[in-house]
Amino acid sequence: MTERIFNFSAGPAVLPISVLEQAQREMLNYKGAGMSVMEMSHRSKAFESIIQMAEADLRQLLNIPDNYKVMFLQGGASLQFAMIPMNLLPKGKGADYILTGSWGQGAIKEAKKFGAAREAATTADTNFNRLPKSEEVKLDPGAAYVHFTSNETIFGVEFEEEPSVGDVPLVCDMSSNFISKPIDVSKYGLIYAGAQKNAGPAGATIVIIREDLLERAPEGLSAMLDYKNLAKNGSMYNTPPCFAIYICGFVFKWLLDDVGGLEKIHALNKEKAKVLYGAIDSSDGYYRGHAEKDCRSLMNVTLRLPSEELENKFVKEATAAGLDGLKGHRSVGGLRASIYNAFPKAGVESLVEFMKEFQKNNG
């Protein structure tokens, strides 16, 4: 392969070309330091300015209020499944989980090891192809927090708006639609996201937490699992994922300067998704979307074909045609096209052409 292909991978996922090129330019000699960012001390002036700039740009992008801390941690979104209850779920209290897919199930499974985590709603009965209606969500007003997954990467189901939870802190796994649209951070107690879907390479996990919640951590928590300690040390209690943070910083700058902010990227994301869902809906039922129409993800488009055999054939032929990473997750089957921020519209158009051609030949 001598050219870049269209990469529909769910994560780690496609990054903007300009970000890769800038990293390439700076690989051997970062701004005259005579070394790459991978090789320098995290206590150096150069790295200090990298992490500060990344945080400042993320704050600008998401309009993060001053009473929130931003942290760049490790362990992926999966470690947050445990750190959230460890820090925020005191003994004698419960936490509510709204389950709309496998990642939410993963989160509650971990939380149950630390405290009274309960299902406030689940759409498992329809294989997570929809969001719960508000009357299906049974919230405990005394809960320590409510957890939800804003975009379920595997099933392709996305919340357009946050569930309303009153005064209970809202905790969100935003891994797969982080910085894909504007949000009101002040509605949240804690937001977390593994970087490798929309924000950068694997290795960094971004946590945005309202400061008052830092006080909830029980005494005696391990230093590396204690938000208060990590926040106090500005994500540098130990060596942070330096290179991943550096690349995330480029992605934030790309969104601010090249794209023009989150309103703009949201519009582009809606455009791309419309083209793809449009192709599904106009295929006379040959392609069937997994998610119900009112909760279709702008990031992960899940669909089925008339048979598993055809699905396998599709994936094989698409891969050969330079459309990579389309095989669906085993819990849904079929295909999944992940079209995150950095995925180009031309790739979506190319897939739609391929879909039409495939249907013609295999209809």
Ligand X SMILES: *Cc1c(COP(=O)(O)O)cnc(C)c1O
**Which residues bind to ligand X, rule: CB under 6 A?**
11, 76-78, 103, 149, 153, 173, 175-176, 194, 197
Nearer to ligand X, 196 or 359 (CB): 196
- Residue 54 sits at φ, ψ, to 5 deg, of -60, -45
Q: How far is the CB of 103 from ligand X (least distance, A)?
A: 4
| CB 355 within 8 Å of CB 285 | no
Residue from 69, 181, 197, 228 carrying the catalytic annotation: 197
Please pick, among 57, 69, 96, 103, the residue that the annotation labels catalytic: 103
103 is catalytic: yes
User: Of the residues 57, 69, 96, 173, which is catalytic?
Assistant: 173
**Nearer Cβ to ligand X (197/253):** 197
Separation CA 164–CA 322 (nearest Å): 42
- Cβ(141)–Cβ(168) below 8 Å: yes
User: Taking the complex as a whole, how short is the minimal distance between the CB of residue 197 and ligand X, in angstroms?
Assistant: 6
Hey, how many other C-beta atoms are within 10 angstroms of the C-beta on 137? 18
Query: What is the nearest approach in angstroms of ligand X to the Cβ of residue 358?
Result: 27
3-class DSSP assignment, residue 189: coil
> Residue 238 Cβ, how far from ligand X at the closest point, in Å?
18
Q: 142 φ, ψ to 5°?
A: -95, 10
Q: What are the C-alpha distances in Å from 8 to residues 12, 129, 318?
A: 10, 20, 11
Nearer to ligand X, 76 or 163 (CB): 76
Q: Which is nearer to ligand X, 153 or 359 (CB)?
A: 153
Q: Cβ(175)–Cβ(154) under 8 Å?
A: no
* Shortest distance (Å) from residue 106 CB to ligand X: 7
Residue placing its CB nearer to ligand X in the complex, 242 or 355: 242
* Closer residue to ligand X (CB): 6 or 81: 81
**CA angle centred on 43, ends 19 and 255, rounded to 5°:** 25
Q: Report DSSP state, residue 328.
A: P
Q: Give the residue from 277, 279, 259 showing the smallest Cα distance to 341.
A: 259
Residue with nearest beta carbon to ligand X: 76
Of 108 and 279, nearer to ligand X (C-beta) is: 108
- Shortest Cβ distance from residue 202 to ligand X (Å)? 7
Residue 69 structure tokens: 């801390």
In angstroms, the CA 204 to CA 163 distance is 27
Site of tokens 């820090």: 87
Element (H, E) at 196: none
Report the number of secondary-structure helices (H) and strands (E) in the chain.
Answer: 9, 14
Contact 223, 237 (CB under 8 A): yes
**Minimum distance, C-beta of residue 5 to ligand X, in the bound complex (Å):** 22
The single-letter DSSP state of residue 134 is: G
Active-site residues: which are they? 103, 173, 197
